[in-house]
């Protein structure tokens, strides 16, 4: 269940993690801005569904993370029996179709961006376009796909898009550094792991 935070009219909720989230947002924007140099870049149509998009990698396919290339590596132990409860659920809660920690960590990491679509049953988070105050001529959009009910290193996939204003003031697609999505995935995984460890310590 997702419970909306109640606030007094005319006020905004305060968060102790706001500086960290702002730093992450500025880091993402800086990474997108610096992507014009060397290295591979990717451009793709904006996916709006978890399935049917050629650039979506599911949990049984290997991908690169900060823990190395993974084709099913667990964040806690090496098998389902090592997961909390012994069944590999790893935090998948009732009323949500994906891993709870990955879901909460994704929302927490992207809380500085406006949301366009949030689907806890399909594990899809699509942000609206976001422009940092320091760079009003650029904007970015992030799609997050949570691919598993277990807390796995390959359980989350991020797609980052970038646009810039051209000479006529219209928004046009711009390339994105291929590492940007991986760095965002790693930030979500790190936050999910912190949440899981914090719960285990209680």
Query: What total number of domains does the chain contain?
Result: 1
In the numeric block, the tokens 């790693």 are attached to 186
Evaluate whether residue 109 is within a structural domain. Answer: yes
Stretch 25-31: mean pLDDT: 56
Kindly state the tokens that stand for 78: 């090496």
Evaluate whether residue 150 is within a structural domain. Answer: yes
Evaluate whether residue 167 is within a structural domain. Answer: yes
- pLDDT (0 to 100) of residue 122: 92
Spatial distance between the Cα atoms of 146 and 140, rounded to a whole number of angstroms: 20
Evaluate whether residue 7 is within a structural domain. Answer: no
How do strand 68-70 and strand 115-119 relate by DSSP bridges? unpaired
Evaluate whether residue 76 is within a structural domain. Answer: yes
Evaluate whether residue 13 is within a structural domain. Answer: no
Range of the domain at 88: 19-201
Stretch 75-89: mean pLDDT: 38
Evaluate whether residue 69 is within a structural domain. Answer: yes
- pLDDT (0 to 100) of residue 30: 54
Helix 178-201 to helix 100-109 angle, to the nearest 10 degrees?
Answer: 120
Q: CB of 6 within 8 A of CB of 12?
A: no
- pLDDT (0 to 100) of residue 124: 96
Stretch 45-70: mean pLDDT: 42
Stretch 194-199: mean pLDDT: 91
Ramachandran region, residue 169 (left: φ > 0; alpha: ψ -120 to 50; beta: rest): left
Could you tell me which residues come within 8 angstroms of residue 69 by beta carbon, excluding any fewer than 6 positions away?
Answer: 62, 63
Evaluate whether residue 5 is within a structural domain. Answer: no
């Amino acid at each position: 269940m997702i419970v909306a935070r109640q606030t007094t009219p005319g006020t905004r909720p305060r968060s102790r993690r706001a500086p960290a989230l702002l730093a992450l947002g500025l880091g993402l924007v800086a990474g997108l801005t610096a992507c014009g140099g060397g290295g591979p870049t990717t451009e793709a149509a904006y996916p709006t569904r978890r399935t049917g998009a050629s650039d979506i990698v599911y949990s049984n396919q290997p991908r690169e993370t900060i823990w190395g290339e993974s084709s099913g590596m667990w964040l806690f132990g090496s098998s389902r029996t090592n997961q909390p409860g012994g069944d590999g659920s790893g935090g998948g809660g009732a009323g949500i179709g994906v891993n709870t920690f990955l879901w909460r960590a994704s929302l927490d990491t992207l809380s500085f961006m406006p949301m366009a679509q949030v689907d806890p049953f399909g594990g899809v988070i699509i942000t609206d376009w976001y422009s940092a105050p320091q760079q009003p001529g650029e904007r970015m959009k992030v799609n997050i796909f949570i691919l598993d009910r277990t807390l796995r290193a390959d359980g989350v996939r991020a797609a980052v898009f970038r646009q810039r204003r051209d000479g006529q003031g219209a928004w046009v697609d711009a390339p994105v550094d291929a590492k940007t999505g991986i760095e965002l995935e790693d930030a979500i995984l790190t936050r999910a792991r912190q949440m899981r460890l914090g719960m285990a310590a209680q």
